[in-house]
Amino acid sequence: MSNTENLQKVGIVMGSDSDMPVMAKAADVLEELGIPYEITVISAHREPDVFFEYAKSAEEKGFKVIIAGAGMAAHLPGMCAAIFPMPVIGIPMHTTSLGGRDSLYSIVQMPSGIPVATVAINGGANAGLLAAKILATSNPELLQKLKDYSQNLKEQVQAKDAKLQEVGYKAYLDGMKK
């Protein structure tokens, strides 16, 4: 959890600690961009009173975006969106029974009036980036950090291509195997 008190804070919530590896990717992106966040495990089904209080008080805590990850029935993102008046980003979790399609469908099939932005199954990093882009609409400093982040991605791809052109694809593949 970031300790920085700031009005542009992101809430990260998951229904189970088994979701932590995916949700940690969102937290990593937020940390890299200097965005404060709070990360919590809450079950909408097993502790609805605690969940309701979390979603109801999120605006008061300074959250501007909530990233909610859930698997299977995946009600957590939609219920956050039903209560929290600002953007909610849902991360569908991979499941063993249906590979995460159950989670994905549950999150994207929200009723009219209760939108949830949705990223790919296990898309923690993109959820963090989407939250940052939402916040950057009113934060020029953060917008510049996102532009720098994109430039860095471009330079990484260009460096990989330069190496490929220098050594050829067979040597490049051999280097990837090591």
pLDDT tier, 1 (very low <50, low <70, confident <90, very high otherwise): very low
pLDDT tier, 6 (very low <50, low <70, confident <90, very high otherwise): very low
Cα separation, 64 vs 131, in Å, equals 9
- Residue 16 clears pLDDT 90, i.e. is over it: yes
- Residue 89 clears pLDDT 60, i.e. is over it: yes
Tens of pLDDT, residue by residue over 110-132, are 999 999 999 999 999 999 999 99
pLDDT of residue 4: 42
- Residue 168 clears pLDDT 80, i.e. is over it: yes
How high is the mean pLDDT of the chain?
Answer: 94
- What b/e readout covers 113-138, taking b as 16+ CB neighbours within 10 angstroms? eeebbbbebbbbbbbbbbbbebbbee
pLDDT of residue 7: 53
With 0.85 as the threshold, say if the pTM is over it: yes
